[in-house]
């Protein structure tokens, strides 16, 4: 690797080494549990900065390239920091036939970011999901775990305005 010590990198990122250690320990330093380790780490740290990938690779004694390939293969992982609020737009088939694309277009336009991006203030991250299984409510938008059903473009506009207001307060 020839770069700085993985633990130093974590400190630079402001991530406690102990946090990462405890996650790795929880899974018994088992290389086959690497996906679960990355999932738990992302929950703790909000995303997977490069430093955490290097650290996990060293601790499990597997190549960084392997950890990186996992972190980029699985949709659940984010290598970019995410905003304080997560907005998920369901693009499942049921939501699609009921107009989810229009809802997503509206959100992208109103927020000025594309799906998968976070706004500059680090307030909102807009993501799409393949299906939330709440098809009766479709099209569905989930904000920080709260479901908003039967969405339309007009309702999406109102939702964003409301979120912005509550963020300013």
Partner 1 sequence: MAQVERLRGSEHLERLRATLAAARDPDKTCIAICTGTGCLAGGCKQVVNAFREEIERQGLADEVDIRTTGCHGFCERGPLVVIHPRGIFYQRLSAQDVPEVISETIVKGRVIDRLLYEDPQTGEKIVYEHDVPFYKLQRRLILGDNGLIDPTSIEDYIARGGYGALARALHTMQPEEIIDTVKKSGLRGRGGAGFPTGRKWESCRKAEGEPKYVICNADEGDPGAYMNRSTLEGNPHLVLEGMVIGAYAIGSHEGYIYIRHEYPLALENIALAMEAMRAHGLLGENILGSGFSFDIRIARGGGAFVCGESSALMRSLEGGVGEPRAKYVRSVDRGLWDKPSTLNNVETWANVPHIINKGLEWYTSIGTEGSKGTKIFSLVGKVNNTGLVEVPMGITLREIIFDIGGGIPDGKKFKAVQTGGPSGGCIPESLLDLPVDFDELTKVGSMMGSGGMIVMDERTCMVDMARYFLSFLREESCGKCTPCREGIARSLEVLDRICNGEGRPDDITLLEELGELLKGFSLCALGRTAANPVLSTIRYFSDEYEAHIRDHRCPAGVCKALITYSIDPEKCTGCTACARQCPQEAIRGEKKAAHTIDQSLCIKCGVCLDTCKFDAVLVQ
69 lies in the binding site for partner 1 (CB under 8 A): yes
What tokens were used for 57? 């690779």
Whether 42 and 81 have beta carbons less than 8 Å apart is answered as no
In angstroms, give the least distance from the CB of 145 to partner 1. Answer: 9
Q: How far is the CB of 103 from partner 1 (least distance, A)?
A: 10
Shortest distance (Å) from residue 73 CB to partner 1: 5
Report the residue number, 8 or 89, with the smaller CB distance to partner 1.
89
- Asked if residue 17 binds partner 1 (CB under 8 A), the reply is no
Closer residue to partner 1 (CB): 4 or 32: 32
Residue 126's H or E segment, with its range, is strand 124-129
Q: Which of 139, 90, 86, 130 is nearest to 111 (CA)?
A: 86
Among 13, 64, 134, 143, binds partner 1 (CB under 8 A): 134
d(CA 69, CA 110): 34
Return d(Cα 42, Cα 71) in angstroms, integer.
10
CA distance 59 to 49: 16
Q: Is 81 in the site for partner 1 (CB under 8 A)?
A: no
Question: Pick from 103, 53, 58, 60: which is nearest to 79 by CA?
Answer: 53
Quick one: 103 exposed, middle or buried, by C-beta within 10 A (0-12, 13-18, 19+)? buried
| Between 8 and 59, CB nearer to partner 1 | 59
Q: Which of residues 92-131 bind partner 1 (CB under 8 A)?
A: 92-94, 96-99, 102, 105-106, 109-110, 129-131
**Residues contributing to the site for partner 1 (CB under 8 A):** 30-36, 39, 66, 69-70, 73-77, 91-94, 96-99, 102, 105-106, 109-110, 129-138, 140, 147, 149, 152-155, 157
């Amino acid at each position: 690797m020839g770069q700085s010590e993985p633990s130093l990198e974590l400190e630079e990122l402001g991530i406690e080494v102990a946090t990462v250690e405890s996650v790795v320990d929880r899974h018994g330093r088992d290389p086959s549990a690497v996906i679960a380790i990355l999932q738990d780490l992302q929950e703790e740290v909000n995303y997977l900065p490069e430093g955490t990938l290097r650290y996990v690779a060293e601790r499990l004694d597997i190549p960084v390239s392997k950890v990186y390939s996992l972190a980029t293969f699985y949709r659940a992982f984010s290598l970019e920091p995410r905003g304080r609020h997560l907005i998920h737009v369901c693009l499942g088939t049921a939501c699609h036939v009921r107009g989810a694309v229009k809802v997503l277009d509206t959100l992208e336009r109103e927020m000025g970011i594309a799906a998968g991006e976070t706004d500059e203030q680090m307030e909102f991250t807009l993501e799409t999901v393949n299906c939330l299984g709440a098809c009766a409510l479709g099209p569905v938008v989930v904000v920080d775990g709260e479901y908003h059903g039967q969405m339309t473009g007009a309702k999406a506009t109102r939702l964003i305005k409301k979120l912005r207001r509550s963020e300013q307060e």
